[in-house]
Amino acid sequence: MVSRFHSRNGTCGSGTAPADHPPDIRTQLWDMLRQVPQGMVTTYGALADSLGDRRAARAIGSLLSKNPTPPDPPCHRVVYADGRTGWYKGRGRGAEDKISLLRAEGVEVHEGRVDLEKHLFTEFETVPVLKFMREEQLALSREIDCDGGPLPDTLSAIDVSYDGDTAFAARVDFSLLDGSEIGRERVRTEVEFPYIPGYLSYREAGAMGCLLVDDGRLHVIDGNGVLHPRRAGIACHLGREGHRTMGAAKSLMVGELDGESVRIDGEEKGRKVGRYYVSVGNLVTLSQAEEALGRMLDMGVDPCRRAHSEATRFKRSV
């Protein structure tokens, strides 16, 4: 078994995807915070809206809790949408410190709330990067190729486990003929892009992309392919450079289950195979994706679970 370690700026060798180098949202967020004047506050939602997607609000809260040098950038100037000041320096901590800092800057705080009509700042000069990323996903969805030829003899399952912002990715290779394991590989890398619903590719593709093999094999990816709000999940991103990929997710992100089919606007985009929802990534048909995973499960082998276990073991070993 080969085990490779590399940094975010290192080389991965076998595979890349456009999501390998996502925008540096942390640095962009720090710049936005420095635009909030003394005596004013902003909200998690306002920051998320300026980045291009309100769903990023929770991720912004997580990033602010890890600010290494408070009060610069001034994360204490971020409050909830109802004016509650909330915590400071992590969950359940520093509420009084935050209020003291705000009051020292001229912000009126009454019973733990700020009057947003008087103190709210939302006029950020920034780039809505999440909007552009959604546009990239929509463009990618139009490039998916479902014609990859016959099923190959090799299937590789890829998954990733995290310790904070360190990703531990693992690939386990199997024979589609008899279900035997024929190889493993692992890679560790640092991840800077936060978890934001709908943008998982931009967090995980850097690590997973290092484990792709350019020999025509089918890669089953922990996550979605076209079963995605913009029809381009992580399996599509990883397949973009000509790799054969399929998604296998444990929960249904979008669509409705109709028997064993998953339909979006009446069109079949996925199928339920065992405990997984499979969908096309690239260069594979939906029927082939169903057949490949179903064949492995029928032989008593769950490739997705094996890859998950390998990634978890890798993290624990380090």
Dump pLDDT digits (tens) for 156-177. 999 999 999 999 999 999 999 9
The pLDDT value recorded for residue 157 is 98
How many Å apart are CA 235 and CA 233, to the nearest integer?
6
Q: Evaluate if residue 93 carries a pLDDT over 90.
A: no
Q: Are 253 and 278 in contact (CB under 8 A)?
A: no
Mean pLDDT of 295-318: 97
User: Does residue 9 surpass a pLDDT of 70?
Assistant: no
pLDDT of residue 94: 77
Query: What gap in Å lies between CA 157 and CA 295, rounded to an integer?
Result: 14
CA atoms of 70 and 88, how far apart (whole Å): 10
Terminal CA-CA length for the chain: 16
Domain check: are 156 and 9 in the same one?
yes
What is the count of structural domains for the chain? Answer: 2
Neighbours of 269 (CB within 10 A): 21
In-domain check, residue 132: no
pLDDT > 70? residue 299:
yes
Mean pLDDT for the chain overall: 92
Are 113 and 189 in a shared domain?
no
b/e per residue, 68-105, with b = 16+ CB within 10 A? eebeebbbbbbbbeebebbbbbeeeebeeebbebbeeb
Residue of higher predicted confidence among 59 and 18: 59
User: Once rounded to an integer, what is the mean pLDDT over residues 41-51?
Assistant: 98
Q: How far is CA 206 from the centre of its chain?
A: 10
Last residue of a domain, one of 94, 124, 154: 124
pLDDT of residue 8: 30
How does residue 11 score in pLDDT terms, banded at 50, 70 and 90?
very low
What's the pLDDT tens digit per position in 180-237? 999 999 999 999 899 999 999 999 999 999 999 999 999 999 999 999 999 999 999 9
Here the CATH number for the domain that contains residue 81 is 1.10.10.10
Provide the token pair at 234: 């992580």
What is the average per-residue pLDDT within 27-44? 97
Do 15 and 78 lie in one domain? The reply is no
Type of residue found at 215: D
Please report where in the chains the tokens 């552009």 appear, as a residue. 132
Q: How far apart are CA 19 and CA 240, in angstroms?
A: 10
Mean pLDDT of 130-155: 95
Task: Tell whether the model's pLDDT for residue 19 goes beyond 70.
Answer: no
Q: Which residue has the tokens 């350019």?
A: 214
Confidence class of residue 105 from pLDDT cuts 50, 70 and 90? very high
Strand partners, 79: 43
Domain that holds residue 298: 2-21+138-317
CB 63, CB 198: distance < 8 Å: no
Is residue 6 predicted with pLDDT exceeding 90?
Answer: no
Q: Are residues 103 and 239 in the same domain?
A: no
Instruction: Determine what percent of the chain is predicted with pLDDT higher than 70.
Output: 92
Nearest to 306 by CA among 262, 251, 260, 248: 248
| Last residue in a domain, options 124, 154, 180 | 124
Q: Is residue 75 among the annotated active site residues?
A: yes
For the entire predicted model, the pTM comes to 0.89
For residues 78 and 43, give the distance between their C-alpha atoms in angstroms, rounded to a whole number: 5
pLDDT score at 112: 94
Residue 108, in any domain of the structure: yes
CA distance 206 to 198: 16
Q: Is 55 inside any structural domain?
A: yes
β partners of residue 159: 170
Which pLDDT belongs to residue 223?
A: 96
Residue where the block lists tokens 């991965």 = 12
From the list 12, 75, 210, 304, the catalytic residue is 75
Note the pLDDT of residue 90.
66
Q: With respect to residue 9, please indicate whether it lies within any of the assigned structural domains.
A: yes
- Looking at the fold, whether 68 and 181 belong to one and the same domain comes out as no
Please, which residues bridge with residue 173 across strands?
A: 156, 183
Q: Which residue has the higher pLDDT, 127 or 20?
A: 127
